[in-house]
Amino acid sequence: GAVVSQHPSWVICKSGTSVKIECRSLDFQATTMFWYRQFPKQSLMLMATSNEGSKATYEQGVEKDKFLINHASLTLSTLTVTSAHPEDSSFYICSARGGLAGSWTQYFGPGTRLLVL
Amino acid sequence: AQKVTQAQTEISVVEKEDVTLDCVYETRDTTYYLFWYKQPPSGELVFLIRRNSFDEQNEISGRYSWNFQKSTSSFNFTITASQVVDSAVYFCALSGPGQGSARQLTFGSGTQLTVLP
């Protein structure tokens, strides 16, 4: 149980294009999903927290117009990197947490490696 | 503010040796949750354990064991008889008890464990 998938796992795109990454909880309902960014040999940096049906809460320094997050259902959240540039190249990881009382554990997706040329 | 410190950046051991990964945390909450995650080279974070602050019992799962000491704010992780497949980055993380942002994970910087054959 508690499986989270991400698609795509790899994406290479040209500068200026937009990229959408999907995060799905496969066997549980995720009332809260998180999006992280990780640079090589560094820890995870939280970008935003999204609750189903409401707007995402972005961390300080994260541009909400550049990183669009939609959490339209209890099993799906999407991150769109708009007008991507080479500095957006990174490893993007989502996680999901269930809605049960006391559900404190975040389960992570396999990540998406984005390379912007 | 919450903080997690993993002072060991990299550790190398020879297969079958025991190894302990240190984790020290700071929090003002009286109730909190501690986690360990494993990130193998593939990138996906694998949940290993969650520990509640009110439960100081140590836990053993196969070759893995965890030593939680509130008096020293530490939550150390020991791998017994290490194997090459244990090579990964290990993250310690902390979350608070409340709703919303208080339940976000604060990650340590990670420890790269390399197990040599």
What's the number of CA atoms in the CB half-sphere (13 Å) around residue B74?
Answer: 13
pLDDT at A29 over 50: yes
Residue of A nearest to B96 (CA): A104
CA gap A95, A45 in Å, rounded: 12
Q: How many CB pairs under 8 A join A and B?
A: 50
CA gap B73, A32 in Å, rounded: 28
Q: Residue A9: its pLDDT value, please?
A: 96
Q: Residue A102: its pLDDT value, please?
A: 46
pLDDT at B98 over 70: no
pLDDT at B101 over 60: no
Q: Residue B84: its pLDDT value, please?
A: 97
Read off the pLDDT of each residue in B27-51 and give the average, rounded to a whole number. Answer: 92
pLDDT at B36 over 70: yes
Please state which of the ranges A24-28, A104-108, A113-117, B86-90 shows the lowest mean pLDDT.
A104-108
Residue of A nearest to B35 (CA): A105
Residue of A nearest to B10 (CA): A41
Q: What are the DSSP E strand ranges found in A45-88?
A: 45-51, 57-58, 67-73, 76-81
State how beta strands B106-107 and B111-116 pair: unpaired
Q: Residue B116: its pLDDT value, please?
A: 97
Q: Residue A101: its pLDDT value, please?
A: 46
| Percentage of chain B modeled with pLDDT above 90 | 77
Read off the pLDDT of each residue in B37-58 and give the average, rounded to a whole number. Answer: 91
Per the CB < 8 A criterion, the answer to whether B39 and B46 are in contact is yes
Asked whether the beta carbons of residue B44 and residue A46 sit closer than 8 angstroms, the reply is: no
Q: pLDDT digit string (tens) for A49-106?
A: 988 878 899 999 999 999 999 988 889 999 999 999 999 999 999 999 875 544 678 8
Read off the pLDDT of each residue in B35-43 and give the average, rounded to a whole number. Answer: 94
What residues pair up with B26 in beta bridges, in sequence order?
Answer: B3
Instruction: Give B91's contacts in chain A (Cβ within 8 Å).
Output: 43-44
Contact status of B91 with chain A (Cβ, < 8 Å): yes
Average pLDDT, chain A: 91
